[in-house]
């Protein structure tokens, strides 16, 4: 079984597109997608620092464009980029890339939508500093109780043993300072309390 999974925010790292951009067809596709959204995605994927690409107005179009361009390199004969995949899925903003890879929406529409989504979420996140942290391990009831005690929202259930909490930065720090037994609290590289 072949599954294509398009990543969500936090997957981007400085320079993550450097090797991909050595491939002419990838660079051409990224240039085209950059023009659609009016951003220099090649710059953000190669030269920008971690803080710059954490900005959701940049991260979201960057990740969707990356998913589309990478899939087309892996499956160049596919009309939409998903090749012979049995399942195409996306995590959070990756759902937009997945929708385009299956042909549910075209790449241009996906990029315009993700640009608007990213800008709107960036504006909402600028009102008050917020973020997200993954809680890995611990007993589920104790993890949820700790999230609640800190005044946070359980934003994502990413499978057995991982819950993502979202809220204000002081609330996230309180959770980290009072982590549930046998659990790690890992701050995520996102610009807001998304999924709340």
Of the candidates 79, 98, 125, which is a domain's last residue? 125
Check whether residue 160 and residue 100 sit in a common domain.
no
Which residue among 43, 78, 189, 195 is the active-site one? 195
Residue 193 lies in a domain: no
Q: Has residue 19 got a pLDDT over 90?
A: yes
Residue 194 lies in a domain: no
**Are the C-beta atoms of residues 4 and 84 closer than 8 Å to each other?**
no
Residue 192 lies in a domain: no
pLDDT at 82: 75
Check whether residue 27 and residue 114 sit in a common domain.
yes
Residue 52 lies in a domain: yes
Residue 91 lies in a domain: yes
C-alpha 59/C-alpha 178 separation (Å) is: 30
The pair of three-digit structure tokens given for residue 164, joined into one six-digit string: 């993502």
Tens-digit pLDDT profile for residues 30-44: 999 999 999 999 999
Of the candidates 125, 141, 169, which is a domain's last residue? 125
Between helix 94-102 and helix 56-74 the angle, nearest 10°, is 30
The contacts of residue 156 (CB under 8 Å, 6+ apart) are 92, 163, 164, 195
- CATH number for position 20: 3.40.366.10
User: Which has more confidence, 177 or 82?
Assistant: 177
Q: Has residue 159 got a pLDDT over 90?
A: no
**Are the C-beta atoms of residues 92 and 157 closer than 8 Å to each other?**
no
Strands of 19-113, DSSP E: 87-90
- CATH number for position 180: 3.30.70.250
**Are the C-beta atoms of residues 153 and 126 closer than 8 Å to each other?**
no
Tens-digit pLDDT profile for residues 94-152: 999 999 999 999 999 999 999 999 999 999 888 889 999 999 999 999 999 999 999 99
Check whether residue 137 and residue 166 sit in a common domain.
yes
Residue 195 lies in a domain: no
The yes-or-no answer on residue 80 being catalytic is: no
Residue 182 lies in a domain: yes
Which residue among 66, 72, 80, 92 is the active-site one? 92
Of the candidates 125, 146, 177, which is a domain's last residue? 125
Check whether residue 102 and residue 167 sit in a common domain.
no
Check whether residue 141 and residue 54 sit in a common domain.
no
Burial of 7 by CB count in 10 Å (0-12 exposed, 13-18 middle, 19+ buried)?
Answer: middle
pLDDT at 126: 86
Tens-digit pLDDT profile for residues 50-90: 999 999 999 999 999 999 999 999 998 777 777 778 999 99
The pair of three-digit structure tokens given for residue 103, joined into one six-digit string: 């042909």
Q: Has residue 47 got a pLDDT over 90?
A: yes
Q: How many domains does the chain have?
A: 2
Give the H or E element holding residue 34: helix 24-37
Check whether residue 44 and residue 19 sit in a common domain.
yes
Check whether residue 29 and residue 55 sit in a common domain.
yes
The yes-or-no answer on residue 92 being catalytic is: yes
The pair of three-digit structure tokens given for residue 151, joined into one six-digit string: 């005044």
Residue 183 lies in a domain: yes
Check whether residue 95 and residue 30 sit in a common domain.
yes
Domain that holds residue 107: 3-125
Global pTM value: 0.84
Show the CA angle centred on residue 120, arms to residues 118 and 124, nearest 5°.
115
Helix/strand/coil for 61? helix
pLDDT at 40: 98
Helix/strand/coil for 175? helix
Dihedral sign, CA of 172, 158, 117, 11?
positive
């Amino acid at each position: 079984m072949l599954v294509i999974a398009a990543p969500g925010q936090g997957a981007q790292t400085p320079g993550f597109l450097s090797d991909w951009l050595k491939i002419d067809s990838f660079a051409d596709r990224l240039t085209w997608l950059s023009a659609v959204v009016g951003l220099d995605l090649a710059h953000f994927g190669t030269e920008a620092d971690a803080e710059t690409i954490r900005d959701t107005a940049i991260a979201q179009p960057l990740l969707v464009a990356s998913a589309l361009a990478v899939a087309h390199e892996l499956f160049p004969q596919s009309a939409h980029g998903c090749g012979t995949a049995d399942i195409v899925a996306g995590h959070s903003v990756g759902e937009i890339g997945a929708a385009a890879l299956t042909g549910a929406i075209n790449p241009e529409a996906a990029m315009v939508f993700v640009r608007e989504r990213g800008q709107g979420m960036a504006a909402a996140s600028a009102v008050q500093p917020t973020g997200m942290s993954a809680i890995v391990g611990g007993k589920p009831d104790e993890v949820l109780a700790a999230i609640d005690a800190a005044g946070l929202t359980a934003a994502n259930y990413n499978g057995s043993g991982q819950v993502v909490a979202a809220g204000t930065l002081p609330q996230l720090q309180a959770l980290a300072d009072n982590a549930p037994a046998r659990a790690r609290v890992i701050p995520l590289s996102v610009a807001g309390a998304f999924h709340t």
